[in-house]
């Protein structure tokens, strides 16, 4: 038996056969590329990202497995930038008109053949390395374009790391659990596992060498423990724990249909975060009071091209119809940072989290924004729609977005396409700038939704993708809590709603604090709805409101 301690990011217990997912062997587009310059830029950007990723990986491997293993990855870093490889790719793009993926894979094959034909056994062995490196670059290039991994049956999937676009394509009906050797707690892969209700552990160092594929593995997405080939005693204890968990889930079901209201009468709406229509059954099963965050960008991930207006309309309509009279808040496209999509052709950035992402891309590409807004307004007749804008930092961004909404409404009127006049508009407060400007922003919109994953990242200057910073990036930091209080006060002063939809919304130790602030809605992964409702119903704020507010304002860390 091998036991690995990782970090549990999506609670739940899973037991099943281990299945390794190796870096995607993507479907290579062989069609001639229309724009060689663009393909060349894409290659350069993917090459640089690969070098960067290999550097990070080498550092992690150095700490856990020593110098020799790290040196291998550093060798791969050099190979990724090898002039023969770079020149070979450029020639294939410019002279043969190939797309970047095909050019890099063909160059890899040709170089590997050259190495393999040499007499020196050391150099012969480099053939596998060069292929490996080219596969990495191609996987990076693919971004969201990779083919879905075929899962052989119900499995626990292990991977070195998984991108959000790979995760979104996994067949959830065959996925019992997820384990990654890398990853970060607030990265979107972990968040999506939570939304999908799939038990998941990240940072399980050594999982890729822990056993033959197909052997039994136990996974605890709560405490982060993974057991490969468990001994009978460990398995027995695990199954007992699983039974207790099931019994507790069953007891929670009695809270369905109940109100989320404190003993002293304060209501709090508990809604759900979803990635697409496929998550709605879990919302209904857990009695979510609405959808507080539909991450619409997942419609754009895992595809080869932009979803058109009709495709988006169908997805929004499906969710709105299924939720009937419960509000559905759809956030406009939020790509960039860890959600990279190949076909957007975005240039490489030194600091993608501080770069061209989310609303910034929409404002720079009005056609893209317009298509999404048209689909959203057209879907608005099928339910109670809210639309919110992510990554706002300035008042003018909201004014421009609202003007775009008005333009879309005028167009639809002219085309006789129906839409609701009651669409609620919101701003995501996830930059300190938006929190500080919330008194002004509140005058423009109907609600705020605080994205505390990003708000924490930007307030504390801690990259949410970096697991090493865990100690420094606590969302319970008084600076973050003070901003939330400020946003709640400004919202209520202007009679608009204040929601929280980041991961900390599910933290039961903060529920009383959020209630004391007057938060109107928490939006969480479906499985957290009923435990939160239980917590709310057990709370009596009258005795502790003042002390909670005082505590909030002091540095208790
Ligand atoms: C957030 O930042 O808290 C949020 C809800 O959005 P995302 O996690 O998708 O960036
Ligand atoms: Mg965010």
pLDDT, one tens digit for every residue, the chain (557 residues): 999 999 999 999 999 999 998 765 444 556 567 788 988 998 998 898 888 877 876 776 566 556 766 777 788 889 999 999 999 999 999 999 888 988 999 999 999 899 888 888 778 778 778 887 887 888 788 664 444 567 888 999 999 988 777 787 788 889 999 999 988 877 888 888 888 889 999 999 999 988 888 899 999 999 999 999 999 999 999 999 999 999 999 999 999 999 999 999 999 999 999 999 999 999 999 999 999 999 999 999 878 789 999 999 999 999 999 999 999 999 999 999 888 888 888 888 889 999 999 999 999 999 999 999 999 999 999 999 999 999 999 999 999 999 999 999 999 999 999 999 999 999 999 999 999 999 999 999 999 999 999 999 999 999 998 888 988 999 999 999 999 999 999 999 999 999 999 999 999 999 999 999 999 999 999 999 999 999 999 999 987 777 777 777 676 54
Longest dimension (CA), the chain: 82
Residue of 223, 187, 205, 222 lying closest to 466 (CA atoms): 187
CB of 501 shorter than 6 A to ligand 1? yes
Residue of 139, 144, 154, 158 lying closest to 203 (CA atoms): 158
Q: Please give the CATH topology (third level) of the domain spanning 2-21+149-232.
A: Glucose Oxidase; domain 1 (3.50.30)
CB of 295 shorter than 6 A to ligand 1? yes
How much distance in Å is there from the Cα of 452 to the middle of ligand 1?
7
Report the predicted TM-score, pTM, of the whole model to 2 decimal places. 0.77
Instruction: Check: CB of residue 26 under 8 Å from CB of residue 227.
Output: no
**Closest ligand 1 atom, residue 297 Cα:** 9
What's the CA angle centered on 23, arms 17 and 25, to 5 degrees? Answer: 105
Nearest CA to ligand 1 atom 6: 451
Q: What is the C-alpha separation between 101 and 290, in angstroms, rounded?
A: 41
| Strand pairing category for 225-228 and 13-21 | unpaired
Q: What is the C-alpha separation between 352 and 44, in angstroms, rounded?
A: 16
Q: What is the C-alpha separation between 514 and 452, in angstroms, rounded?
A: 13
How much distance in Å is there from the Cα of 456 to the middle of ligand 2?
10
How much distance in Å is there from the Cα of 452 to the middle of ligand 2?
7
Instruction: Check: CB of residue 148 under 8 Å from CB of residue 167.
Output: no
CB of 430 shorter than 6 A to ligand 1? yes
Nearest CA to ligand 1 atom 3: 451
DSSP state of 132: H
CB of 502 shorter than 6 A to ligand 1? yes
Active-site annotation holds for 499: no
How much distance in Å is there from the Cα of 64 to the middle of ligand 1?
31
Q: Name the residue of 296, 501, 521 to mutate for ligand 1: max ligand atoms within 8 A of Cβ.
A: 501
Instruction: Check: CB of residue 202 under 8 Å from CB of residue 190.
Output: yes
Predicted pLDDT at 195: 85
Closest ligand by atom to 506 CA? 1
Neighbouring C-alpha atoms within 13 Å toward the C-beta of 89 = 25
CB-based burial label for 245 (10 Å; 0-12, 13-18, 19+): middle
The size of the chain, in residues, is: 557
How much distance in Å is there from the Cα of 184 to the middle of ligand 1?
14
CB of 338 shorter than 6 A to ligand 1? no
Q: Name the residue of 453, 457, 462 to mutate for ligand 1: max ligand atoms within 8 A of Cβ.
A: 453
Buried b (16+ CB within 10 A) or exposed e, 169-180: bbeeeebbbbbb
Q: What is the C-alpha separation between 398 and 420, in angstroms, rounded?
A: 20
Domain ranges of the chain: 2-21+149-232, 36-141, 269-552
What sign has the CA pseudo-torsion 205, 208, 210, 215? positive
Active-site annotation holds for 188: yes
**Closest ligand 1 atom, residue 273 Cα:** 5
Predicted pLDDT at 27: 46
What sign has the CA pseudo-torsion 288, 293, 294, 295? negative
Predicted pLDDT at 204: 95
The residues whose Cβ lies within 5 A of ligand 2, an ion, are 430, 451, 454
Q: Name the residue of 390, 431, 483 to mutate for ligand 1: max ligand atoms within 8 A of Cβ.
A: 390
Supply the CATH classification number for the domain 36-141. 1.10.274.10
Closest ligand by atom to 524 CA? 1
Q: Which of 188, 227, 450, 499 is catalytic?
A: 188
**Closest ligand 1 atom, residue 293 Cα:** 5
Q: Name the residue of 274, 276, 297, 502 to mutate for ligand 1: max ligand atoms within 8 A of Cβ.
A: 502
CB of 145 shorter than 6 A to ligand 1? no
* Secondary element (H or E) of residue 180: strand 175-180
How much distance in Å is there from the Cα of 54 to the middle of ligand 2?
26
Q: Which class does domain 269-552 fall in?
A: alpha beta
How much distance in Å is there from the Cα of 451 to the middle of ligand 1?
5
């Amino acid at each position: 038996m091998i036991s690995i301690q990782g970090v549990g990011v999506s609670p739940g217990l899973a037991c099943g056969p281990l299945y390794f997912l190796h870096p995607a062997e993507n479907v290579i587009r062989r069609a001639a590329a229309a724009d060689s310059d663009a393909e060349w830029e894409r290659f350069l950007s993917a090459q640089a990202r690969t070098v960067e990723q290999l550097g990070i990986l080498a550092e992690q491997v150095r700490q856990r497995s020593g110098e020799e293993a790290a040196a291998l990855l550093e060798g791969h870093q050099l190979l990724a930038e090898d002039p023969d490889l770079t020149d070979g790719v450029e020639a294939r793009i410019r002279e043969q008109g190939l797309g970047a993926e095909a050019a890099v894979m063909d160059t890899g094959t040709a170089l590997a053949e050259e190495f393999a034909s040499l007499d020196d056994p050391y150099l012969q062995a480099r053939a596998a390395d060069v292929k490996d490196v080219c596969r990495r670059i191609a996987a990076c290039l693919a971004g969201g374009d990779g083919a879905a991994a075929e899962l052989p049956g119900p499995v626990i999937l292990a991977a070195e790391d998984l991108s959000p676009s790979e995760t979104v394509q996994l067949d959830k009906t065959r996925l019992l659990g997820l384990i990654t050797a890398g990853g970060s707690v607030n990265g979107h892969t972990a968040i999506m596992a939570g939304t999908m209700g799939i038990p998941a552990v990240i940072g399980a160092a050594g999982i890729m060498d822990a056993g033959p594929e197909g052997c039994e593995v136990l996974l605890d997405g709560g405490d982060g423990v993974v057991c490969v080939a468990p001994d009978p005693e460990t398995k027995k204890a695990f199954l007992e724990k699983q039974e207790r968990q099931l019994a507790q889930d069953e007891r929670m079901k009695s809270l369905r249909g109940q109100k989320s209201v404190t003993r002293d009468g304060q209501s709090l709406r508990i809604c759900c975060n979803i990635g697409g229509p496929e998550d709605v059954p879990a919302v209904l099963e857990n009695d979510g009071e609405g959808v507080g965050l539909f991450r619409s960008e997942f419609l754009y991930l895992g595809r080869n091209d932009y979803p058109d207006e009709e495709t988006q309309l169908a997805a929004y309509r499906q969710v709105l119809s299924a939720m009937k009279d419960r509000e559905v808040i759809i956030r406009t496209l939020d790509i960039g940072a860890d959600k990279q999509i190949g076909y957007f052709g975005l240039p490489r950035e030194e600091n993608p989290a501080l770069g061209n992402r989310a609303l910034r891309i929409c404002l720079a590409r009005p056609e893209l924004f317009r298509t999404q807004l048209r689909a959203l307004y057209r879907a608005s007749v099928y339910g109670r729609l809210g639309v919110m804008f992510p990554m706002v930092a300035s008042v003018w961004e909201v004014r421009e977005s609202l003007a775009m909404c008005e333009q879309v409404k005028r167009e639809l009127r002219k085309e006789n396409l129906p839409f609701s006049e009651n669409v609620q508009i919101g701003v995501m407060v996830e930059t300190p700038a938006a929190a500080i400007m919330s008194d002004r922003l509140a005058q423009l919109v109907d609600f705020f939704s605080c994205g505390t994953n990003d708000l924490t990242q930007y307030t504390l200057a801690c990259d949410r993708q970096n697991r090493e910073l865990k100690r420094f990036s606590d969302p319970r930091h008084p600076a973050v809590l003070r901003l939330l209080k400020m946003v709640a006060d400004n919202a209520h002063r202007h009679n608009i709603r204040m929601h929280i939809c980041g991961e900390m919304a599910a933290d039961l130790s903060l529920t009383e604090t959020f209630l004391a602030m007057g938060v109107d809605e928490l939006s969480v992964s479906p499985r957290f709805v009923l435990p939160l409702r239980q917590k709310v119903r057990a709370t009596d704020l009258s005795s502790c409101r003042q002390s909670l507010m005082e505590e909030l304002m002091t540095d208790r860390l």
